[in-house]
Structures are given as structure tokens and as C-alpha cells.
Amino acid sequence: MNFTVDNKTERAIQRIVYALYLYGLLLIFEGALRRWILPGLSGPLLLVRDPVAIYILFLSWKYHVLKVSRYLVSILVISAIAFYTAMFLGHGNIYVALYGLRITVLHFPLLFVIQSVFNKKNIETISRWMIVLSIPMLLLIVVQFYSPQTSWINKGLGENSEGGGFVGAMGYFRPPGTFSFTNGLVLFFTVVSSFIFWGLSGELKISKWILYPALACLFLSIPFSISRTLLFSILITMFFFIFSLLSNKLLFWRTVVAGILLLFIFYFLINTDLLSTGLDVFQERFQSANESEGGLDGVMFKRFLGSMGNAFENLGDLPFWGHGVGMGTNAASQITTGQREFLLSEGEWGRVLGELGPLLGVCFLLIRVSIAVKMIHLAFQKFRGGYFLPWLLVGNTVFNVVLGQWAQPTYLGFTVFFGGLLLAATKSTDESLSPEV
């Protein structure tokens, strides 16, 4: 289907694209604003992307850019009912309800705005910049890794001087990079892995002088992040990439060359104190966590997939309409108790069911699963047509859609932005509304 837009609409779409670029930048550097640049505004800056989202949605509505879909309508209907039940049958706190509502009303629709306005050039621009940013990001977390928690580079949120890292192993802390928490760093390098492997396929035009150093930085990020989740996430992306190799001999040999170069780089680095310390710390963290959680089974099935089943264990004890939208967020616990804690559940499905109740909660989760299935279907169709990016993004983006902790702003932002980018990448070239920006 071909789209025609007048000059006025084209300019509006251009503004939407630039606003989405700003949304992406704030997603990556929000933690830097809260920790280093404007620490006194750390609390309000938690919502720094919300005004941008409102602006995008306003323009999208005004110029009919946002396509009406069954997913969007269903989510908005659930949100309206959830707000009513929260106020009159649940917690009754309007601030908590509005904070919870922003997830589905402000940010979720951006998934479909991005799908509508991003074109091939937009996708390639974002991909290149993410690859480029991975190099200074790695350098930053190495400095954070070796610096004490009392140093400026490891400063916590706001006026917190105790440090922004989480305990790792051997006295070292998991660095957050430019993010507020370490989960942002994991999400960043997970997405970057898809773009780097896409670059290796030859579909993305990018200098090898950037691509190969970024590839090395990607694998170096694993020990210095002290994160098993990042290791498993990159392995998932690698699995999808290796699957792609089976259908493309040229891609196979390019990967062999890149692998050989990477081995040479690691051969020289592994004998330096800089890398060997990071590897020792990561190995200690991996072993100690495996002992307490039961290895791969404990990480993948108990922590993640197990949380899905656990969410339904006490379903019969929940109020039919739940405790109220927003009640499972950290903001709600801060407002109601003065402390940051999980009032309902640490797992995403437990939070959703606790807030919305059995009926609305299950409907909401089914919508998320349905979107994930649609993403897989569309990505596989493009893969069969020889376009690899959506397929490479599927491995971890779909996980974020189904199980991602949307109550956490960074997790929500990555899910929406790169989930939308995945959907945009599955379009035919004549389906794009966006001008070349």
C-alpha cells in the first residue's frame, strides 16, 4: 500500500522522527543526567522522556500518523478500566494510578508510532550510532569497574554518594555506565549485539574500523559488567546469528574472518592485568551465583520462566480488580511507604496480575504475548526474504515484550523503542510514512 502525504504532514512526521531520536538519546543518557549533570533533579528526571512521549503522541494523533490497531485499542480500553477500578475499588491514590497509567497510555503507543514513521535510513542511522556508542560505553564501564564507589564516576543517583554500582564479586561492583542502574547497561549491550552482528552480515554499511573494535567491546563488556544476564542475552543473539549463517555462505566466511580477528585481540588482552582481573571477577560471580541459583537452569527457568508460573499461584487470593494500577511500581512504594520495595511482586507477571486482577491482568498479558508472536512471525518472514535485522532483534526484544519489567522506566523505554524499530524493519519499503531524515 502506498502512502501519500502533503508537505504539512511530511514536516510533522519529520518532527516526530527527531523527537523519537531525542527519546532514544534520553533513554541512554537519562542516568548521566540524574547522577552527574543535574543530580538535584534526579527525581523529576526519572520521567524526563514523558513530555517527549506526549509531544510525539500529540503530533501523531493530529496528523493521523498513529495507526489504530486491535492491540492499541485493547490496551487503552484496559487502561481506562484499570484507572477507574484503581480509584474506586483499589488503592484510591491518583498519583500512583497516573504513574502506573503512563506505562500503557504514554509509552506503549510509541511502539506503533515508531513502526509507522521509521524508514530504512532511520533504522540504519540508529544502528550505526548504537555501534559507535558501544566503544566509549565500554571504556566508561572499565573505568567504573576499577574505580572506588566513592569516586565521582561511580556517583549514585541525586545526592547519593554511596555509589551507583551493585555488588558483584571479589569486592568489585557491577557498573551502570551512563544509566541509572546496571540493567540499563545490560539492555544497551544486548541491543548493540544485534546491530553488530547485522553489520557483520554486510547489510549495514559501516566502516570495519568501527565494527571490529565494537565487536571486541561487546565481548569485553561481559566480564566488566559482571552480568550473567548479559552473557546469556548475547549468546541468544549469537544463536539467531548462527542460524542466519546457514543460509548465506558469504556471511559465513565474513564471520570466520571477524572471529579470527577477535581471537587475536583477546589473545593479547587476556594476558594483561586489565582484562584478566575482569575475567577473574566475572568467573567468581558466575560460580557463586550458580551455586545459589542452580546454574543455567536457575537463571533461565527459575528466575525468568519460573516467574510466569509463580505469578498464577496466588491468583485466587487477589481482588478481582486487583490492588490498582501503579501499585506494583517503586514509585508507589515510595509514595505510600516512603521506601523503595516491591509491594506486590518482583516479577513482571506477578506485578501485572496484582495491579489489574485476574481478568484485566490476564487480558493484558495475552496482548503482550500476542504482540511477541506477531514480531516473531514478521521477523521470520523478512529473514526468509534475506533481511536479517528483525530476526537478530527478535531473540531479546520479544523477551522484553513478554517478561520485561515495564514498571522500570529504562526497561520500558528499551522495549518500546527497539520493539518499535523491529516492527519498522519488517515493513515493505512502500509502507513508510517517514521522509528521508
The model's pLDDT over 227-245, given as tens digits with 9 standing for 90+, comes to 888 988 998 998 888 887 7
Contact between 166 and 182 (Cβ < 8 Å): yes
**Alpha helices of 147-206 — where are they, by DSSP H?**
182-201
Report which of 82, 116, 67, 74 is spatially closest to residue 369, judged by C-alpha positions.
74
Q: Does 261 or 213 have the greater pLDDT score?
A: 213
Q: What is the 3-state secondary structure (H, E, C) of 108-124?
A: CCHHHHHHHHCCHHHHH
At 363 the pLDDT is 95
Residue 433 C-alpha from the chain's centroid: 25
The model's pLDDT over 280-300, given as tens digits with 9 standing for 90+, comes to 787 777 677 665 555 555 555
Residues 6+ apart with CB under 8 A from 61: none
393 pLDDT band, cuts 50/70/90, is very high
At 284 the pLDDT is 77
Report which of 220, 120, 139 is spatially closest to residue 434, judged by C-alpha positions.
120
At 338 the pLDDT is 65
At 80 the pLDDT is 96
Residues 6+ apart with CB under 8 A from 389: 123, 127, 194, 195, 198, 203, 204, 382, 422, 425
**Residue ranges with strand state E in 46-191:** 166-169, 172-174
The single residue listed with the C-alpha cell 484507572 is 83
> Taking all residues of the chain, what is their mean pLDDT, rounded to a whole number?
85
Contact between 177 and 184 (Cβ < 8 Å): yes
Residue 210 has pLDDT above 90, yes or no: yes
Q: What is the DSSP letter of 165?
A: P
The model's pLDDT over 101-156, given as tens digits with 9 standing for 90+, comes to 999 999 999 999 999 999 999 999 999 999 999 999 999 999 999 998 888 898 88
pTM: 0.91
At 435 the pLDDT is 47
Residue 1 has pLDDT above 50, yes or no: no
Relative to beta strand 166-169, strand 172-174 is antiparallel
Instruction: Give the whole-angstrom CA distance, residue 110 versus residue 420.
Output: 7
Residue 390 has pLDDT above 90, yes or no: yes
Most confident range, picked from 45-49, 258-262, 300-304, 344-348: 45-49
Residue type, 190: T
Instruction: Give the whole-angstrom CA distance, residue 14 versus residue 434.
Output: 7
Most confident range, picked from 157-171, 191-205, 247-261, 305-319: 191-205
Instruction: Give the whole-angstrom CA distance, residue 33 versus residue 353.
Output: 33
